[in-house]
Structure 1
């Protein structure tokens, strides 16, 4: 990085530090990010355990990028978001690129084809800041059809050089933030909610393992990926899939998506 750019970044960072604890911090944080890697859109989201996330700030070049956010993403699709799944791992800090944390068959999923493609996003990166054991602030910024190009390797290298600084700014600014659901008991595990919804809506009674495999498929995991996560053989996963399809009276992954995705509004934890 040349001396002029380093000096500019230092000045923008200083302004962001001064803005900590004030309503101006998101704009200064955005300006700092743009110095490191220009983006088309930015959204800052608070996650609290498995409760519904809250949007704290957003900006965009093309408004289409966030048109499905409130109805679809917050309506339940967040449950399949790789960044949300990353949050659930706990104590996650620093930079994550969506394509690096997404499952191997992510682009084949209903979530990708019916939500993510609507946004016109081509690439997305998130800064994670762990606030408490269950609270995470993420600043997700992306490239969409406005610029038409993904982030390049040099931009990602620079972002990683600043990842501790970026996470610390979010962590310090929102250190006392708690979502409205903080006093509520955590929702039942997602597998259990899926089993209950399927039984209630369609009279289909899945075993816990079958529900778990169904969710892995919805998130975009191949059979091989599922076998690695569950630490079982590939053949065992294929047996689970056949049992799942038989119980649901379906014969394809597309039919599984069609059956299960309408249930996700019911699976989301409502305020």
Structure 2
């Protein structure tokens, strides 16, 4: 595709605003900038379970874990979800740029992302309100077998604010079903309660926080920087956490906590 193709596709996309055709026009417009294998548009609302507004793919395998695993609780560890929680996020973000330093070593990555066959993923963020964020996630999977090129990323970046504006305009009146529900307690608090009820394990707020950082793929150094404590202090918290849980590895921590995430989202 060329820049002239984009200029021709943009007016058609604008005309499709507030109509059912917009997601397809939006997809065609973005293909003028970068060839992608799959697209999913997700609405995040605070800390509630996200909703899928649109999806398309060349290989159905890429979305097989979506409904059961991602929406079932795995999203709580997702780097794009963490970006949403910052609030007011717009423009283009690449997964590898926002993911923690050891994200690819996590069991979340191995159990979820590797199942999807995703090789590269970028997202256009749009802010609908103080609590609602839309992400249009464009992926490269085993269909093409290669990541986005530098030229494609540059083209997406140069037009990212236009793409954000299109999403914001089309879905400006969007309100998820969860909008009428009470705001859930902070994730760490819900996790501590679930652990105590299910396994009679009592973690301190800081230990629960460290557990979540570990599962998301942060190294001890990264955790110390986020919490603004010494590396040695993080190591102490980590030893205490593992001792209370009766485990000795991140894999065991994942096996213990991941089944609880589904119950945390059902509490909403």
Q: What's the TM-score, normalizing by structure 1?
A: 0.97
CA distance in 2, matches of 1:161, 1:194: 40
Partner in structure 2 of residue 37 of structure 1: 34
Could you say what secondary structure the match of 1:228 adopts? helix
How far 1:253 moved relative to its partner?
Answer: 1.5
Confirm whether residue 257 of structure 1 aligns to residue 217 of structure 2: no
Runs of at least 5 residues in structure 2 that lack an aligned partner in the other structure: none
- Following superposition, which runs of at least 4 residues in structure 1 exceed 6 angstroms of deviation? none
Distance 1:270-1:37 versus aligned 2 partners, 3 A rule: farther
Q: 1:60-71 residue pairs with structure 2 within 5 A?
A: 60-71=57-68
Partner in structure 2 of residue 19 of structure 1: 16
* Contact 1:42-1:139 at 8 Å conserved across structures: yes
Partner in structure 1 of residue 85 of structure 2: 88
Runs of at least 5 residues in structure 1 that lack an aligned partner in the other structure: none
Partner in structure 1 of residue 97 of structure 2: 100
Could you say what secondary structure the match of 1:67 adopts? helix
Partner in structure 2 of residue 217 of structure 1: 214
Partner in structure 2 of residue 204 of structure 1: 201
Could you say what secondary structure the match of 1:21 adopts? coil
Partner in structure 1 of residue 182 of structure 2: 185
* Contact 1:79-1:268 at 8 Å conserved across structures: no
CA distance in 1, matches of 2:4, 2:81: 35
How far 1:270 moved relative to its partner?
Answer: 5.0
CA distance in 2, matches of 1:269, 1:124: 28
* 1:123-163 deviation line (CA, Å, top 9, x unaligned): 00000000000001110010000000000111111101001
Could you say what secondary structure the match of 2:36 adopts? coil
Q: 1:222-261 residue pairs with structure 2 within 5 A?
A: 222-261=219-258
How far 1:5 moved relative to its partner?
Answer: 2.2
CA distance in 1, matches of 2:219, 2:266: 27
* 1:78-118 deviation line (CA, Å, top 9, x unaligned): 10010001000000000000000000010111210101100
* Contact 2:95-2:121 at 8 Å conserved across structures: yes
* Two-structure CA RMSD over aligned residues (Å): 1.0
* Contact 1:52-1:270 at 8 Å conserved across structures: no
Q: What's the TM-score, normalizing by structure 2?
A: 0.98
* Contact 1:227-1:237 at 8 Å conserved across structures: yes
CA distance in 2, matches of 1:40, 1:124: 10
* Contact 2:3-2:32 at 8 Å conserved across structures: no
Could you say what secondary structure the match of 1:268 adopts? helix
CA distance in 2, matches of 1:270, 1:163: 36
